[in-house]
A and B are shown apart, each in its own frame.
Chain A
Amino acid sequence: MSSESRPPVIQVQDVRKRYRLGVTDRSMVADELASVWAGLRGKRDPHTRVGGSLSDQRVGDYFWSLRGLSFEVFEGDILGLIGRNGAGKSTLLKLLSRITPPTSGTIRMRGRVSSLLEVGTGFHPELTGRENIYLNGAIMGMRHAEIDSKLDAIIAFSGIEHHMDTPIKRYSVGMKIRLGFAVAAHLDPDILIVDEVLAVGDAEFQRKCLGSMRDVASAGRTVIFVSHSMASVQSLCSRAIWLDKGAIRMDGATEPVIREYLQECSPQDREQVWSAANAPGTDEVRLMGIRAISDRADGAFTIGHGISMELDLDNRSITDTDLNIQLIVRTGTDSIAFISDLTEAIGTALWPIGSNKVTCIIPPDLLNDGGYRVSVLFQRRGNRHFLVTDALSFDMQEGPRKGAWFMKWEGAVRPKLKWIR
């Protein structure tokens, strides 16, 4: 692992990338005046973009996607790039793939670079699978004779021999990825850049891909791999770089970087506390606070551990049993993962006047990895009393896996069900 003895293959020096933000905010004089008026009254500018944490990345009409990255990658490294959406991972890959130039700084690379950034990149829908192998190979800089000599291996690796003479527009996404990866892996690249495209393939093909990435690296070549799946980064990469808001947050051996990364999860979203004056609710009942707590010792939210959602209620005037609470859990794609109903679960009972505590426990191995948001619905007499939208939001992280699947696991939930054999 001592990298100093090996020559660097990639050298990134103080690379910055700036994007111009579209003219969406102040396209009209009236908007501009509204901003000024708000400023005079000491109010928040109505045209400020939401998301204050990004303010250091945003300067005027520009957005700094990368803010001064410097690192070196050495021969035989398998480097994992991790970080949240918008951290700059994709931008960095685009720069390395020479799709877009940096705003400042220099990237130096040695050898042939091949990158697999998107599904079906460089495929022509009207051409057949076989013809597309030649087209895709040529785009990656392969000579015709070179492809000829590797055609059989590429076709065998893709596992879609029978569809080679079908136009690629009839292919499924999975088949396109198989073909795309097969070509990229047989290109003998000195540097192989793989974005999270493999997430769509099936387990067996993913294992093949991970295996061939390992082969590329053990042949003294270099792999850069981006994934949201910590399990696959952990299993594949010797080194990881954590990008955060366009800068390197941590760079080192995979294990500690992932541990640090998992520990950090915006804590403010995991708890909300209101004052008596602004607590959501009615004169009958109010929600005073809500928090999500992991039963893991270090507090990280991983799918192998349970999560307790604690609600603090202030019962002001309800003297009967007619109060129901529902927790509506949505996924990152805004579909409802499930709804849990208090009355359905434990029936009804009297609510003492004053503060009440209600806890709902999400068992281990129910949620999938990814983001979740929880809304709280209060019901009286079978009707909506009030709704607190997105009271909680948290990211679930991957834990260790037993099987062969190391990529994104599809689904709103991922319950561990009972299997019998």
Chain B
Amino acid sequence: MDHERNKVRWDVIVEPTQPWWRLDLRELWHYRDLLKLMIRRDLLAIYKQTLLGPLWQVLQPVLTSIMFAVVFGLMARMSLPGIPPMLFYMAAVVPWIFFSNVIQRTSQTLLWNATLMSRVYFPRLLAPMATTASTMVSFLVQLLAFIGIALVYRWSGRYAWSPGLGMLWVLPLIALMSLLAFSIGILVAALTTKFRDLTFLLTFGIQLLMYMSPVIFPLSMVQEGSTLRRVIELNPMTAVLEGFRSLLLGTAMDWSTLAYPSLFTAIVLGLGLAIFQRVQRSFSDVI
């Protein structure tokens, strides 16, 4: 009898703890329709709230870039010579806004979906995945805006912008950046369920990270080998932003610099998944 019982194939096994590597990718795939609906819901929420709607999505990086261009580019002379400050800043501001938005939004997903999660089961990882994807939509719109502005510079003859097909190399860079932001986001999401005040720390931390990255200055401005340079290179986003700048502006790209952020992403992703998977299961008991 017992032998027969053991032959039964169980589809669902519920146990007190689940090793983090038992990430059910097949299940995530099965739930792809829910992922689509959640992305749609997120987009509706983003675009319905504001008066200007999608326009605001474009205005935000443009205005930030103009501000940076005036303050740091024209006044402090921090941008690269030969490149219009506006383009120089926007090439880094657009990915940076995406990076910081993904972290901030995904870190809230567990709390935002708390009621739903305390009532029904679905793979919890879908929520931060949907948030990352919906933020990506804004990012792509902003990227198009960058290209539009760059084309205006080209046609007006002020800057010979011609990156060509090489610009498609931003795709793997986008993937790397998304994964990095997603990983940090779920790690913070898992931790905020226990320590709610982490949210405030996060806002400050992201801002600090921005000044530690070449958003407002080119990396070449910082002397190689100096302590400051080492600190800045410790930031995994440094190489990513430099990469975006090179590809979007059509300057020389050093792919070897991406080794460090890739390794960093892999480690944070593993850690984030481990802790997120651990927390999400007992989450409904805590709230």
Contacts and interface: CB of A to CB of B under 8 A. Distances in A.
A and B: bona fide binding partners:
yes
Interface of A: 4, 7-8, 11, 19-20, 94-113, 115, 117-118, 121-122, 124, 134-135, 138-144
Nearest to A96: B14
B25 to A, nearest CB: 15
Interface of B: 1, 5, 8-18, 30-31, 33-34, 37, 41, 116-122, 281-282, 284-285
A393 B131 CA distance: 52
B11 A101 contact: no
Contacts of B282: 100-101
B75 to A, nearest CB: 46
A7 B11 CA distance: 14
A102 B15 contact: yes
Contacts of B117: 99
Contacts of A100: 281-282, 284-285
A94 B14 CA distance: 11
Contacts of A141: 30-31, 34, 122
Contact of A98 (B12, B16, B37, B116): B12
B284 A138 contact: no
B16 A102 contact: yes
B37 A138 contact: yes
Contacts of A102: 14-16
Given A102-B16, A108-B13, A109-B10, A97 B120 contact: yes
Nearest to B17: A101
B14 A101 contact: yes
A96 B118 CA distance: 13
B200 to A, nearest CB: 23
Contacts of B118: 99
A8 B5 contact: yes
Contacts of A140: 120
Given A122-B119, A138-B34, A108 B10 contact: yes
B8 A101 contact: no
A145 to B, nearest CB: 9
B31 A109 contact: no
Contacts of B284: 94, 99-100
A103 B120 CA distance: 19
B120 A115 contact: yes
Given A138-B37, A139-B120, A108 B16 contact: no
A99 B123 CA distance: 10
Contact of B16 (A94, A101, A118): A101
A110 B10 contact: yes
Nearest to B8: A7
B11 A111 contact: yes
A160 B121 CA distance: 26
A121 B119 contact: yes
A113 B12 contact: yes
Contacts of B120: 97, 99, 115, 117, 121-122, 139-140
